[in-house]
Amino acid sequence: MKAETSIVIKRSAEDIWAFFEEEDSQAQWVSGFVEARDRSEGPYGVGSTWTDVRQQFGRHIESQIEVTEYEPNRKTVYKTTGGPVQAEATTTFEPVEDGTRLNYVIEAEAEGYFKLTGPLLNRMIQRQVDSDFSNLKDLLEV
């Protein structure tokens, strides 16, 4: 499965990055987000880990996440290290004339129940990604 989106937000990469790094900022724009817990000690960066908790597709989903790439104001990559879906997500921040273009790609391989839903799940994830980043744009351009 793969979902991707690209959106221009009329803010600097630094402003958007600072928002991304706020603890639980996802609660403000990611649908189904419940909490991030069991965070690793120290500053956020390569090797940082946490448990991502969501309510999605009628199910309570917990996934363990690890940051694998981290370039402030430019790029972040994380992958799941446990949970029902094995995924890797990349967000890049590209300065453009009107602000910053965020490019987001998530590639995933589902297991169990989620694997059975295949193409339907992929369409649902794409709609959710598009909606979430539209929410982020609305939130940050106020």
pLDDT, tens digit, for every residue of 42-98? 888 999 999 999 998 788 989 999 999 999 999 999 999 998 888 999 999 999 999
Using only the alpha carbons of the chain, give its radius of gyration.
15
pLDDT band at 114 (very low <50, low <70, confident <90, very high): low
- In the chain the domains, ranked by start, together with CATH numbers, are 2-140 (3.30.530.20)
- As a whole number, mean pLDDT of residues 97-112 equals 89
- The 3-class SS string of 40-88 reads CCCCCCCCCEEEEEEEECCEEEEEEEEEEEEECCCEEEEEEEECCEEEE
Q: Which residues pair with 71 in a beta bridge?
A: 75
Residue 127, φ and ψ in degrees, nearest 5? -60, -40
Decide: 56 and 50 in contact? Cβ < 8 Å. Answer: no
This prediction has a pTM of 0.89
Tell me the C-alpha to C-alpha distance, in Å, between residue 98 and each of 3, 6, 53, 118: 25, 14, 34, 37
Is the sign of the CA dihedral 95, 96, 101, 103 positive or negative?
negative
Residue 95, φ and ψ in degrees, nearest 5? -60, 135
Residue 44, φ and ψ in degrees, nearest 5? -65, 135
